[in-house]
Every structure is written in C-alpha cells, then in structure tokens.
Amino acid sequence: MSVALFPHLFRPLALRGTTLRNRIMSTGHDTCLPENGQVTESYIAYQEARAKGGVGLIVTQVAGVHETARYTSHLIMADSDACIPGYRELARRCHAHGAVVVSQLFHPGREIMESANGMLAVAYSASASPNERFRMMPRTMDRAMIAEIVGGYAGAARRMFEAGMDGVEFVASHGYLPAQFLNPRVNRRTDDYGGSDENRLRFLVEALEAMRAATSDDFIIGLRISANERDEAGLTHAETLSACRALGDRIDYLSITVGTSASLGGAIHIAAPMNFQAAYAAPEAKSYKQALSVPVFVVGRINQPQEAELVVARGEADGCGMTRALICDPQMPAKAEEGRFDDIRACIGCNQACIHHFHRGLPVSCIQHPESGRELVFGQHPKAATKRRVMVVGGGPAGLKAAAVAAARGHDVTLFEAAPRIGGQALLAQLLPHRAEFGGIATNLTRECELAGVTLRRNARVDAAVLRDFAPDAVILATGATPYVPGFETDEEMQVVTAWQVLQGQVKVGGRVLVADWRADWIGPGVAEMLARAGSRVDLAVNGLHMGETLPYYVRDTIAGNLHRLGVAVTPYARLVGTFGDTVFMQHTASEQIMEFEGVDTLVLSTGHLPVDGLAAEIAALGLECHPAGDCLTPRTAEEAVYEGMLAGRAV
C-alpha cells in the first residue's frame, strides 16, 4: 500500500554502505535521558520504540568529542571508549527492527548553555566573537587545540564504528563550532583557519577527513548544516551552499535545517513552533539538492507523511526529518505505510514537553503521548484483571486520555461531556492567533478513544441522579476549570471581561485595551495579539518577569516578535490593583509603586482558573471509587491533564 500512497517517501534510499527502508528520518535531538555522559537503557528504549515504528534513519543526539564540548550537563560524551558498550547495545536493538542508526558528533564552540556544577564554563571558538544568546565571550582556539579537537572527532567516529553504528553526522548547524569557523563575521583569524573561503573551510575538511581515516569506506559520514542561519550576523544561504559544494564527496548526505543558536530570533528555528507553516524550510533545501550529488534531508515542521511525500515528490529533498512527529507518534511510519492516516497522532508543534523539557533539564516527552520518553515505565499499559464499568466525566484532554487508556486495558468505558463538542479548553486554545493546530490534541485523543472502543456521550451533564442510574464501578473525574476573577477595587465604570469571553466572541471590546496577565502563558499575549490585529490599541501587563515566562522559549520568542511588530506595549512585574473611571491601577511587584494605565476602555483578565470539582462530593456521598485528573484537581496545562488522565486510566 505504501508504494501506491507514498511512491516517493517509502522508496528505499542508498547511503554509502547501507540502504534506508524509507525517507523518514528522526534527527538528532537532546532528550535528557542519558546519564553521567553515557547512553542509558531509557535512551535505548526510547530510540528502539521509533525503530519498531518503522523509521528509516535514526540520528542519535549529539555526542561530545572533546572535554570543552560540554554545552549542557546532559550531553553524551564520546571522548573515551567508555561510550562504546552503550552505543553497541543501542545499535543492536535498533538494527533488529530494521532502522539505520548514526550518531551526531558535536562541539558547540561558544554556544555553551550551562554546566553541571552551575558555574560558567570557559568557551572556545574560532575567534573571540561573543555569543548574544548565552552571553559567552569565548577564547580563541590555538592551533594545538584545533588539532586536538579534530582528533576528538576522529576518535569519536572510530568509537561509533567499533560500536556497530552505521555512521556519524558532523554537526555544523545552528552556529555551532564548525559554523563558527565558516562564518566570516565570527571567524576573524588571520592564520590558515581564517580569511579566505578555503581557510575558513579548513577546520571542516580536516575533521571530515580525519573521521573517514579513522573508520572505513562504507561508514556513513553525514553533515548537518543550516542553509541560512536567519540572523544578521549568521551564515547566509550563499555562504553555506558554497561550503557544501567545496566539501564534495567528503560527505555522504546533507541534513538541511535553518537558524542559529546564537540569537533569540535565530534559535526559534531549532524547533519551530506552530506559527510556522509545515515544511517551511524545504524550498531552501532544493538548491542544495540540485547542486550536490549526495542525498539531501530537510527538517522544519514536517509533521505528517503527506507533507513529507510532497517535499520529496517536488524534488526539494531526498528525505525528511520528522522528529517531533515521531516523538508524538513513534508508530507514524508504520501507520502511514498501512494507510491508517486517521490513526496517526499528529504533532501540533506546541514544544511544551519535547524541547521545553530539555531546556528545563527534564527527559523528553509529549503532551499528547506521555508514554514518550517513559518507555520503561509506560511502554505498555497492563491489561485489566477484571472488566469494569467506568464512567469518565469530562471530555477535555484529561478525560479523553483516561478513557482511551482505560478502554484499551479492557474496561467498558463511557465518557460524558456536558458540551456539544469534545475537547474542553483545547477548543478555546485553538482560537488564539497561530494556535489553530492546538485543537489537534482533541482530534487525536478522540480518535484514541474511538479505537479503544469508548462510548462518547455529548450534551450529557452528570449529576447525582445520572451517577446512580449509570451505577459505575469507578468514576474518573475530569471536569476541568473555569476562569478565576480576582477581587480588586473598582467603581464598575470600566468594561471588565475574561479572556474566555473574548475568545468565544461573547463581548465587544473597546479601542483601548489592557490585558492583565497573571498566568504569563499563551493566553494573555494571544488575546493581546488578537485584539491588536483587530484594531485595538493594546497594553499587556504581566505579573511576571517578562511576557511568556512559563512558555517554551521558542514559542515565547516567536510571540514576542509578533507583539513587538504590532506595537503591543508589555509591562512586566504588574499586579492588578483596581480600576477607577478609565484608569487601571497596577502595582509593580518589586518596587511596590503604583502604575497607572489611563484611557482604557476594556480590561481583559487572564488571571487564572478555578477547578470545577463540585461533583466530587456527590461521588463521595454515593461511595463510588473516584480518580480525579487534570484541572479539576488544580488548573495547570494540557501536559498535566493528559499525563494524569493516563495515570487515572491505568488506576481503574
């Protein structure tokens, strides 16, 4: 079926000494699953799940080639033979399911995030050119250190070869060390490693040739590089393409991305959020495919197999990196091959539990599929010893996940949703600017319920009478939350509304709006952007250090750019005090001084939520087993809701 449906995506692809079964690639991405610089069983299980799911090429996360490569405390280190046993087992397990496996080899140069002991590290680069994002002033590498690091790449490649990996990927993307040598605005050397195009390429040439000499003729050596670093001081498309041409047959494939780690705006592209169109970087890859004789892969929000098929069919690339799609649904390739399109759990690009977990030092996961990254604990949900009659109250993310898991375990599950539509707050979230895909979480979880055999009842409010009539063996309570309106002083002259009312179109706001944002999440800035685009003059007052304080970095920075372009004024450290006439009074939470916003027509409250848990007392009075999940416990995010729904589904 795959040949007929995806004639390009499921065509095998030769890479030097091996053949990929399809053109789907899981690109290298940090997971925080390794420990003490070593591959762990949890990391092997994570990658093995993707191999089982049918991916063609797995590129494992960056492995440091030198002691100075430790850009984070969660890095795998490949600078000693101690790494070989872990990689050998990883390769064996993934090969058993038909996947080809290569490891990224890495040195960040000046792109140092943090160290294990909390102290600032000494960073090294081609020149003493400062990093904007991490505020690092690197030391210039001397020739001895350059030679040592080139040797580090060779040694790491040899270890991967000895471990039975199929190859390595030389990471020159996102402004990391090789790109720092290439970039004439970063590399200001006057010796053999700087100045001319040939000299700036020398570090890459030496590293690639050393890796080849340390391995074999049939060992894959790929290159990952940003086609355009999307930053004023970054590498341009022309500069990168020229360098790739010059490298010639030293590389066996090219993995194209965009962006740079060196700036906030450039780093967005490391894991572009849902603001960006599907496969948005693919057109940039086409010139590389046309200019080079090696296979070209491309990444950039390619979340569905039909998107990947179009990229390959249009000749933009030979294959597609679909990393977040595979975090969300490890079985995506197999489902696509079998024509089970509706069963694919599509990534929504929220970044909340994948890259945001990494930035917080937490293991990778997915808000829709919390089993990801937790394969050793939740890889299989145990079958129920006895079939039970389970009532799930609430059809938001928590209730949907709970129902799907409980039914898949063998229970008779009925979900009751009071509203006419399933989805809960996801249906509101999708109304925010650039957040339409968030509604996909409801679509995907509803499909999981259908596949598991859950009975879905809409427009079905539950009370004590319904509980008695249904007579469940267990109840999963997932009744969500409602907007919280804090107490504040007011003469009631100003229009005061909630963000929910704005999103649902229940109110008409004035021309001058202040959004009071206590949550510092998506809602406040999303409503601010929506109203600014509709023509209102908008202020966003955030009770936090900055707008989007709780958000994934790349989501936050994308929103910050949008608000700035729209002229939305953002005031941090702002606590709502009250309103009088057309003036909103805020208190600066650090100085305690009052801040006044005059001429305001409408105050929009994004001030949190209250749990809806009134049914808990009725359930307790009837003596029923009850498992609460999600916002009815206390309002948080969809990630906690789905995770707790999974736990509740396992508990009944």
The counts of H helices and E strands in the chain are 23, 29
In three-state form (DSSP H/G/I as H, E/B as E, the rest C), the secondary structure along 457-522 is ECCCCCCHHHHHHHCCCEEEECCCEEECCCCCEECCCCEEEEHHHHHCCCCCCCCEEEEEECCCCC
Amino acid at 438: F
Distance CA 556, CA 558 (A): 5
Distance CA 623, CA 615 (A): 13
423: left (phi over 0), alpha (psi -120 to 50) or beta: left
3-state secondary structure (DSSP) of residue 52: helix
Task: Report which DSSP code applies to 174.
Answer: B
Pick from 268, 324, 346: nearest CA to 551: 268
Distance CA 588, CA 592 (A): 5
Distance CA 399, CA 612 (A): 13
Using CA atoms in the order 308, 312, 316, 321, what is the torsion angle rounded to 10 degrees?
40
CB neighbours of residue 33 within 10 Å: 23
221, 252 Cβ separation under 8 angstroms? yes
Q: Which fold has domain 2-366?
A: TIM Barrel (3.20.20)
Give the position of tokens 């489902």: 335
520, 496 Cβ separation under 8 angstroms? no
176, 153 Cβ separation under 8 angstroms? no
Task: Report which DSSP code applies to 103.
Answer: E
Torsional sign, CA 439, 442, 448, 453? negative
323, 29 Cβ separation under 8 angstroms? yes
pTM: 0.96
pLDDT at 473: 98
Q: Find the helix or strand (DSSP H, E) in which 178 lies.
A: helix 177-182
Look at strands 13-15 and 18-20 and give their pairing. antiparallel
pLDDT at 74: 87
- 253 DSSP β-pair partners: 222
- 574 DSSP β-pair partners: 588
The pLDDT tens digits of the residues spanning 454-503 come to: 999 999 999 999 999 999 999 999 999 999 999 999 999 999 999 999 99
pLDDT at 113: 86
Which residues does the chain have with pLDDT short of 50? 1
CB neighbours of residue 383 within 10 Å: 10
- 67 by Cβ neighbours in 10 Å (0-12 / 13-18 / 19+) ranks as exposed
The pLDDT tens digits of the residues spanning 357-402 come to: 999 999 999 999 999 999 999 999 999 999 999 999 999 999 999 9
Domain range summary for the chain, segments of one domain joined by +: 2-366, 383-483+611-651, 489-607
257, 275 Cβ separation under 8 angstroms? no
Task: Report which DSSP code applies to 260.
Answer: B
Pick from 396, 226, 377: nearest CA to 299: 226
Amino acid at 648: A
Amino acid at 415: L
Task: Report which DSSP code applies to 81.
Answer: G
Q: Find the helix or strand (DSSP H, E) in which 237 lies.
A: helix 237-247
pLDDT at 115: 74
Half-sphere exposure (CA, 13 Å, Cβ side) for 408?
20
Distance CA 146, CA 155 (A): 14
Q: Which fold has domain 383-483+611-651?
A: Rossmann fold (3.40.50)
Using CA atoms in the order 583, 432, 362, 255, what is the torsion angle rounded to 10 degrees?
-130
CB neighbours of residue 277 within 10 Å: 12
Distance CA 388, CA 462 (A): 19
Distance CA 395, CA 423 (A): 6
Torsional sign, CA 77, 82, 86, 87? positive
Question: Distance between alpha carbon 341 and the CA centroid of its chain, in Å?
Answer: 22
Look at strands 495-498 and 319-321 and give their pairing. unpaired
Q: Which fold has domain 489-607?
A: FAD/NAD(P)-binding domain (3.50.50)
444, 403 Cβ separation under 8 angstroms? no
326, 332 Cβ separation under 8 angstroms? yes
Pick from 403, 311, 397: nearest CA to 350: 397
Backbone φ, ψ for residue 512 (5° rounding):
-125, 115
